[in-house]
Structure 1
Amino acid sequence: MRNYLTLFCLLLLLFGVHDAVNAQNEKETKSQVAKAPLFRDPIYDGAADPMVIYNYKDKCWSMFYTNRRANVKTQGTNWVYGTDIGVATSIDHGKTWVYKGALNLAFEQGHNTFWAPHVVYDKGIYHMFVTYIPGISDNWSGIGKIAHYTSKDLWGWKFKQLIPLSEDALLDPTVYKKPDGSWGLWYKNSKLGYTVEAVSKDLKNWKNIAGTTVNDVQHEAPFVFKAKDFYWLLTDQWDGLGVYRSKDSDHWEKQGVILGKKGIRKDDNVRASHPGVVVAGDKIYVFYFTHPGWEKEGGWANEKDKLDEDGILPYHYRRSSIQVAEIKIENGILTCDRDAPFNFYLPDLNIDN
């Protein structure tokens, strides 16, 4: 009897050690440092406007981004137009990202422009809303529309429509479900210079809401998400990211600006541009892009002064990098310290998450 008790105690001890080792291994697996930069496009080196979403079919994380042609010598802004939507994926929870190619989104003739993708998942279908501009322009005058696509696998996309919202130039859509179950579509109206909103019950039929959503300063690239009892709206106001919060996704109050001052990480030495956010459990990560070559310059306002004799902006200024930082929300206040160390781990998701 005494031998059985001894054996039983040994088994309990072994199982306890095994569980402790597994717990430690799991903790170590979920502890990883984000690379800086997180990603650079290997074809054109102009990754911008990042959008990150989980791929339920392939069980990995996908990053969609504007694939600016930074290493192509073109006059004026030609390198920013004629862009595809690039795709990178991560099978190790965000630690490394592998370039997979560019999406085939063509639906009419010619070499056209796609910017700033936003993707949502609803009832087994992925919906992409993306800025579409016909042709290639050598200045910032392209007239954008918002194109809608659907997919079951995040790779093969079916064109649905150009959403009929306005005759003005429309840019940078973001889509999020509102408290009443309808969908909000926030985007920049370039004629106004501010964010406006449209609503839909089915992601197909949209109606504009009168007025502007936020109009305290000129900006672009709105991004809406929910975390810690509030809806949040980030904008790119060209000196960092404007922060707004709301209880109902209708009425927004300005909190301040994040990521306006340069950081110390590689390629993180200038203001952040065009945010995308992932809420992963109790962690919130903001993805953005930077133009590292502008660290000692006056920014895009002085772009024409940097053109060479052929009217070409040097590659040093054109190239861009994707970065990620952690957002903190405490007592209803959103902050982000891009230099603070943080654990960057994107967990696998179930459809019910």
Structure 2
Amino acid sequence: MLNPPAPLFRDPIHDGAADPTVIWNRQEGAWWLLYTSRRANVPCRGVAWAHGTDIGIASSADCGRHWRYRGTLAGLEFEPGRNTFWAPEVIYCDDLYHLYVSYVRGVPQDWSGPRAIVHLTSEDLWRWQYQSTLSLSSDRVIDAALHRMPAGHWRMWYKDEVKGSYTWAAESDDLYNWSVQGPVITDCAHEGPNVFRWRGSYWLIIDHWAGLGVYQSPDAENWRRCPNILDAPGKRSDDGAIGGHADVLVNGERAFIFYFTHPDWDREQAYGLDDIHPLAVKRTALQ
């Protein structure tokens, strides 16, 4: 993945790719990018464009240099109506892909209402089977991130919007039954936690809306704050903005970060929930 293009990917349908996660598709022998497909080019009031969203798919057969749009994940709907899916997290374990995705019923015009994390499974990344809606620390939880702990069990980090918009954790031995452990990162409000192991340490990154906060740990339990990253605009195409909600792919000694930007957003310009937000506010790109 040397000298990838910028932007790395733009959604050709709605131009609102955000919240990326990367997974190796064992059946296709290709890398897949899954992402929130925000409806950036749809005229609608308030933040309805950030709801009613599918999970988009892009794939790469050349080690991540070029990405092709493939559509959206099928089979996520587990109740009637048009609903909202955000921030996919996918892992592969025991011949199954496990998807943990944020869910909002319907298409709200504002940011109110319950949110949940939903668990689905698939044998091929295309067709998904609903397993459960997780019972966690409140009725406003989103942005799951999973990693296996040193003792062998699984830990999930997620955002609890009721409890300060902090990262909380839950644990599981089987990926189906989860017990809440409590708060983990509480030094600032944030979203989009992501955890990975690299160069002998565990790393946790968050999106605190001013770039990405970074934490380091020897055991994935005790976290030390490090300097922020992606907190200043880049110089590449569609990269002249801070980075948001990211995923990290570790390959040996190298770590590749995938993130999204709002290339045209003037953050000093405010829009109300009765306004139709212009495309410049809504458009996003993956880097």
Q: Shorter-chain-normalised TM-score: which range?
A: over 0.9
Contact 2:39 / 2:53 at 8 angstroms: preserved in 1?
yes
Matched, 1:321 2:285: yes
Q: What is the CA distance between 1:311 and its match in structure 2?
A: 1.3
User: Per-residue deviation at 1:298?
Assistant: 2.6
Secondary structure of 2:270's aligned partner: helix
Unaligned stretches of 5+ residues in structure 2: none
Q: 1:168 and 2:154 equivalent? A: no
Write the letter of the residue equivalent to 2:271.
K
| Deviation beyond 3 Å, 4+ runs, structure 1 | none
Q: Which residue of 2 aligns with 1:304?
A: 271
Shift in Å, 1:166: 3.1
Percent identity reads: 45
Corresponding residue SS for 1:153: coil
Q: CA deviation at 1:312?
A: 0.5
Q: Which amino acid aligns with 2:166?
A: Y
How big is the alpha-carbon RMSD for the aligned residues of Structure 1 and Structure 2?
1.2
Query: Do residues 199 (structure 1) and 171 (structure 2) align?
Result: yes
1:153 matches 2:124: yes
Report matched runs for 1:78-157 at 5 Å: 78-104=48-74, 105-157=76-128
Q: 2:23 aligns with which of 32, 44, 53?
A: 53
Residue 32 of structure 1 deviates from its aligned partner by 3.4
Aligned match for 1:269, one of 240, 256, 260 = 240
> Of 183, 204, 218, which aligns to 2:189?
218
Q: In 1, are the aligned partners of 2:156 and 2:170 still within 8 Å (CA)? A: yes
Residues 239 and 261, structure 2, Cα contact 8 Å, conserved in 1: yes
Amino acid at match of 1:321: A
Alpha-carbon separation, structure 2, partners of 1:32 and 1:289: 19
1:298 aligns to what SS in structure 2?
Answer: coil
- Tell me how far apart the structure 2 counterparts of residues 205 and 249 of structure 1 sit (CA, whole Å): 20
Deviation at 1:243, TM superposition (A): 0.2
Partners in 2 of 1:153 and 1:87 — Cα distance? 13
Matched letter for residue 76 of structure 1: G
Alignment partners' CA distance in 1, 2:228 and 2:188: 12
User: Which one has the bigger strand percentage?
Assistant: 2
Shift of 1:57: 1.2
Matched, 1:209 2:181: yes
C-alpha distance in 2 between matches for 1:141 and 1:283: 40
- 3-state DSSP of counterpart to 2:184: coil
CA distance in 2, matches of 1:87, 1:298: 28
Distance in 1 (CA, whole Å) between partners of 2:139 and 2:201 is 31
Matches of 2:257 and 2:157 in 1, distance apart? 18
TM-superposed deviation, 1:68: 0.2
Alignment TM-score, normalising by the size of structure 1: 0.79
Q: Secondary structure at the match of 2:226?
A: strand
> TM-score scaled to structure 2, two decimals?
0.97
SS of equivalent to 1:293: coil
* Higher share in helix: 1
Cα distance in 2, alignment partners of residues 320 and 188 from structure 1: 22
Opposite residue 303 of structure 1, the aligned amino acid is A
Q: Deviations over 1:78-137 (max 9, x none)?
A: 000000000000011111101000112111001000000000111111100000110011
Q: What is the DSSP-based 3-state SS (H/G/I as helix, E as strand, rest coil) of the residue aligned with 1:79?
A: helix
What's the secondary structure of 1:317's corresponding residue?
helix
